[in-house]
């Protein structure tokens, strides 16, 4: 650790995300030659953590583990710890996210990677709690276990790292120009159709992401083949998403994803790239159908981006944090009394009669999130 006010090496960085971790007891290094040189000098493996400033679960892992003296002591004793902002270094994030997806079948942030002195990964995952829960090992167990394996079975870990690196290189894009065959496009379409939710739109179950890139593929498939089913899937999905709580019906714009399969309760973070890709999907669906609804939603998204994500310097902010007042979604959820006062007695009373909504108690009492039950009525339903 540096001596200046007990800050670590991240105190001199410019990234908002790295600066959030500058006062952690973890002896963080930014990505660079120094960290790898120290790892080789001390013969310590590397603990890599990648996230970004508006990431909710990044905040959770920091609070639970990286601010904890015991976890920090374990990391400092056995590893060289590197912190990376994925918005500052998307190239690094892209490499290790592919490794995580290959190793685990899933990905996300915070991205957690244990790797060799040369940066080759032998274990990867996303969020890990301080203590084991949610079916995940805790940092208090995981860090000593990885340290023990490095000490007692390094050869096996290095073999795993070589295999993971070779697998990643084998599937890397070579830059060869290849035309997409009709058979390949048809296969992609059939797989999307097979995972399509006929009732609520979208693909798969919870957590449910908007996946606008998949909608764009379906729109192009429709344009190429004339298959009306592809267009129907896109239109239904966009309407269901817009009607759910994943869409901010007051402030406009889409939240990151839905925690349930019906688009009701969102993870409240808002991403600039989601707004960009979803607005394209709505505009292209408007063009394909001639339905003004889709164009109007795109205009709402643009209005939100220009109002809340445009910076005075002329650029755009990359995201809005899900957390406020120390909790996720506080800015967006409503108490029943507040919803009655602000939205009118009808909307508040209508929520109490709807038995199909998930309900839960919080320390601040029962709270609600807004969704559009039908075009003419905005209602309030239990959210948290």
pLDDT in tens, 164-184: 888 777 666 555 666 778 899
Kindly report, residue by residue over 223-275, the tens digit of the pLDDT: 999 999 999 999 999 999 999 999 998 899 999 999 999 999 898 999 999 99
The least confident of 60-69, 283-292, 373-382 is 373-382
More confident residue, 285 or 367: 285
Given pLDDT bands bounded at 50, 70 and 90, which one contains residue 378? very low
Kindly report, residue by residue over 47-98, the tens digit of the pLDDT: 999 999 989 999 999 999 999 999 999 999 999 999 999 999 999 999 999 9
Rounded Cα gap, residues 236 and 299, in angstroms: 19
The residues with which 29 forms a beta bridge, in sequence order, are 82
Give me the pLDDT at residue 366, please. Answer: 54
Rounded Cα gap, residues 321 and 269, in angstroms: 5
Given pLDDT bands bounded at 50, 70 and 90, which one contains residue 335? confident
- The DSSP code for 330 is T
Give me the pLDDT at residue 211, please. Answer: 95
Give me the pLDDT at residue 376, please. Answer: 36
Domains of the chain by residue range: 4-170, 182-323, 333-384
Q: Are 288 and 222 a contacting pair, CB within 8 Å?
A: yes
- Spell out a b/e string for 206-237, using b for 16 or more CB atoms within 10 Å of the CB, else e: eebebbbebbbbbbebbeeeebeebbebbbbb
Give me the pLDDT at residue 337, please. Answer: 74
- Mean pLDDT of the 217-223 span: 96
Pair of tokens at residue 372? 């559009």
Share of the chain above pLDDT 70, in %: 84
Number of other CB atoms surrounding residue 129 within 10 Å: 17
Give me the pLDDT at residue 113, please. Answer: 98
Kindly report, residue by residue over 302-312, the tens digit of the pLDDT: 999 999 999 99
Give me the pLDDT at residue 165, please. Answer: 86
Question: Which of 132, 172, 360, 378 is closest to 265 using CA atoms?
Answer: 360
Residue 362 scores a pLDDT above 60: no
The alpha-helical segments, DSSP class H, found in 86-196 are: 90-104, 139-152, 154-170, 182-195
Give me the pLDDT at residue 357, please. Answer: 34
Kindly report, residue by residue over 102-137, the tens digit of the pLDDT: 999 989 999 999 999 999 999 999 999 999 998 899
- Mean pLDDT of the 20-49 span: 97
Pick the CATH number of 182-323 from 3.40.50.300, 3.40.50.720, 3.90.79.10, 1.50.10.20: 1.50.10.20
Residue 141 scores a pLDDT above 50: yes
Give me the pLDDT at residue 301, please. Answer: 97
Q: For the whole model, what pTM was predicted? A: 0.75
Pick the CATH number of 4-170 from 3.30.750.24, 3.40.30.10, 3.40.720.10, 3.90.1300.10: 3.40.30.10
């Amino acid at each position: 650790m540096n001596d200046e006010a007990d800050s670590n090496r991240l105190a001199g960085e410019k990234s908002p995300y790295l600066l959030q971790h500058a006062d952690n007891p973890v002896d963080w290094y930014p990505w660079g030659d120094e960290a790898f040189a120290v790892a080789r000098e001390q013969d310590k493996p590397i603990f890599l953590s990648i996230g970004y400033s508006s990431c909710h679960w990044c905040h959770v892992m920091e609070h639970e583990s990286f601010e904890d003296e015991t976890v920090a002591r374990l990391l400092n004793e056995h590893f060289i710890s590197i912190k990376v902002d994925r918005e500052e270094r998307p190239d690094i994030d892209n490499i290790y996210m592919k490794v995580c997806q290959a190793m685990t079948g899933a990905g996300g942030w915070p991205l957690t990677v244990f790797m060799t002195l040369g940066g080759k990964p032998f274990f990867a995952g996303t969020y890990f709690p301080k203590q084991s829960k949610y079916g995940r090992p805790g940092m208090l167990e995981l860090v000593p276990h990885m340290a023990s394996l490095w000490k007692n079975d390094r050869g096996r870990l290095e073999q795993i790292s070589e295999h993971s690196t070779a697998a990643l290189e084998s599937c890397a894009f070579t830059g060869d120009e290849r035309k997409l065959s009709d058979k390949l496009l048809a296969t992609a379409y059939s797989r999307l159709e097979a995972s399509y939710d006929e009732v609520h739109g979208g693909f798969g179950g919870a957590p449910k992401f908007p996946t606008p890139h998949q909608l764009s593929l379906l729109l192009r498939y429709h344009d190429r083949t004339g298959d009306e089913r592809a267009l129907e899937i896109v239109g239904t999905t966009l309407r269901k998403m817009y009607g759910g709580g994943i869409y901010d019906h007051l402030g406009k714009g889409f939240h990151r994803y839905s925690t349930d399969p019906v688009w009701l309760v969102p993870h409240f973070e808002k991403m600039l790239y989601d707004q960009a890709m979803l607005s394209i999907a709505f505009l292209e669906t408007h063009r394909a159908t001639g339905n003004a609804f889709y164009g109007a939603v795109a205009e709402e998204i643009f209005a939100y981006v220009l109002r809340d994500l445009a910076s005075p310097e002329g650029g755009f902010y990359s995201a809005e944090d899900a957390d406020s007042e120390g909790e996720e979604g506080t800015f967006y959820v409503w108490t029943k009394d507040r919803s009655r006062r602000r939205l009118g007695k009808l909307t508040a009373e209508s929520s109490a009669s709807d038995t199909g909504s998930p309900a839960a108690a919080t320390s601040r009492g029962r709270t609600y999130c807004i969704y559009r039950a039908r075009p003419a009525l905005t209602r309030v339903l239990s959210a948290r």
